[in-house]
Amino acid sequence: MTLEEARDEVKKCDEEIQSIKAALRGIGNVDSSQANSLEVEFTKVEGLPESAKPTLQLQLSSPIEEREVMLGGEKVTFEGVETSQAMLAVDAKDADIPLGASTEPIEIAPLCTLEDPKQPKDEYVTEIPVAIVAPATEESETTEGESKVIPVICSVTLKVTYKPSSKDQREELYDLLNKTSQRKATALGELRKRSIEKARAGASSAAESGSTAVTRSKPSVKPGFLNKGGKKDEEDDKGVVSVVKDWYKRLTGPDSIVMKTAFWAVVTKDFWMFFGAVGFMHFRGNVLSLPPPV
């Protein structure tokens, strides 16, 4: 699955999930107590004389019920059928004479599948041919490792009409929702995988193109083509820079004499003021004296 196919699959699953949820909301307003029904009609028989009057005995396993239906007669109805588990056994007789039974019971689940759970039909009709064989006897059992063929007495056709309930529709929708969610999860995993592969491929191609460009690129200008003076000019420039740095350190740098003098002047200013005042009063104290009285 390609990247585009995975993206389309995720989008398709999202749309389908939304439609399933809408169908579930619509079923929520229907009476959930309504039970499903399974109607069975005996429509055709082959292998018996025209004068025969065949009757079928139908035995359902879930729920356990038994009905009798005649050729061309009325339908028999089973209600509240567990469609996922139920099996239908068929026994045939002509008037009161037993003819035989079906070789295997009929599985009900395939007959009760909704074609489109989002838009279910009111009923689903299926015709089933059933072979009626004679009851098993000791002669029909295995003799010396070889089994004899059990003869088919007749073949009957049943018309099965399934009418789903709202519960059946809801279960089908939930089953479809789970399957669609699994498909979406698979598509998301594939989309993530393809996206990572694409990103890695792009990164590797970019790295390869960059390395190729670096290795194959040649400098258009040779380094130092403007430096005609060579090392001499470079040494002169370094000398000027060093002289400026020396003057800076001596005059205004943190370790210069000016900065040290200013520091000590600030620290000892009180002493200078005290000794200055004492010296002034000692040598020129008469200036501060008051004039004599008149």
Give the domain CATH number at 93: 2.60.40.150
Residues 14 and 156 in one domain: yes
Residues 163 and 244 in one domain: no
The domain of 24 spans: 3-134+151-174
**13, 7 contact by CB (below 8 A):** no
Across-strand partners of 79?
37
Residues 60 and 163 in one domain: yes
**166, 30 contact by CB (below 8 A):** yes
In a domain, 189, yes or no: no
Question: pTM score > 0.75 for this model?
Answer: no
Residue pLDDT tens, the chain, 294 long: 788 888 888 888 888 888 888 888 877 765 656 788 999 999 999 988 888 888 999 999 988 999 999 888 888 999 989 988 899 999 999 888 888 899 889 999 998 888 888 888 888 999 999 999 987 665 555 544 455 667 888 899 999 999 988 888 888 888 888 988 998 898 888 888 888 888 888 777 777 666 655 555 555 555 555 555 555 556 666 666 777 777 667 666 666 677 777 777 778 888 888 888 888 888 877 777 767 776
Residues 114 and 247 in one domain: no
In a domain, 193, yes or no: no
Number of domains in the chain: 2
Residues 26 and 128 in one domain: yes
Residues 51 and 165 in one domain: yes
Compute φ and ψ for 98, nearest 5 degrees: -65, 135
Residues 166 and 265 in one domain: no
Residues 158 and 264 in one domain: no
Q: DSSP readout, 276-293? A: HHHHHHHHHGGGGSPPPP
In a domain, 204, yes or no: no
In a domain, 197, yes or no: no
Instruction: Quote the distance between the C-alpha of residue 137 and its chain's center.
Output: 58
In a domain, 146, yes or no: no
End-to-end CA distance of the chain: 125
In a domain, 163, yes or no: yes
In a domain, 274, yes or no: yes
CA dihedral (26, 116, 32, 182) positive or negative: negative
Residues 164 and 270 in one domain: no
Give the Cα separation of 41 and 78 in Å (integer).
Answer: 12
